[in-house]
Amino acid sequence: MLQIGENEVDGEIISSGESELQNYRIDSIESTVMIRQLPSLGISFKLWLPATTLVTLLDNYRRDPSTSPLTRTLSKFKSDGPDSSSSPINIVELGSGTGIVGIAAAATLGANVTVTDLPNVIENLRFNADANAEAAARSGGKRLTWFTTSIFMNHS
């Protein structure tokens, strides 16, 4: 079960000026993931409902792959489930925003994850990746890295 809030007890958001810290309890790894949002800077700095929904699906997959809608897709990449000793899945998340999905994938799947975004977003993405690297590693994540993506425009 995914619990959203300041901590597992009261479910509040920590807000300081422009930034908001939100903790997500991911029961399958018995850990909490902390995400910094900067909502005044735009949509890349906010948590999106589809992202938190995917985190819930990843949490549920780790707890019981036999009942997860992700099993069919993930079984093509990793045959023995999330606790397997086989080679980890390699994931590149493009347009990661706050990085919550990539961080959760590293933590719940034991995957090598690279989170990416545009240059103006990377500082916050790096903050979130660094803040959660230990939780991802403790629960089997092999590598959580970040870098900037570039956009190329063809001017004719």
The string of pLDDT tens digits covering residues 53-106 is 999 999 999 999 999 999 999 888 864 545 556 678 888 999 999 999 999 999
Q: Over 90: is that where the pLDDT of 128 sits?
A: yes
Give the other-Cβ count within 10 Å of 31's Cβ. Answer: 17
Q: Over 60: is that where the pLDDT of 154 sits?
A: no
What's the confidence (pLDDT) of residue 18? 78
When pLDDT is averaged across residues 126-130 and rounded to a whole number, the result is 91
Torsion, Cα 53 58 62 67, to 10 degrees, reads 60
Which domains are seen in the chain, by residue range? 2-148 (3.40.50.150)
Separation CA 45–CA 121 (nearest Å)? 7
One DSSP character per residue, 78-90 reads -TT-TT--SPPPE
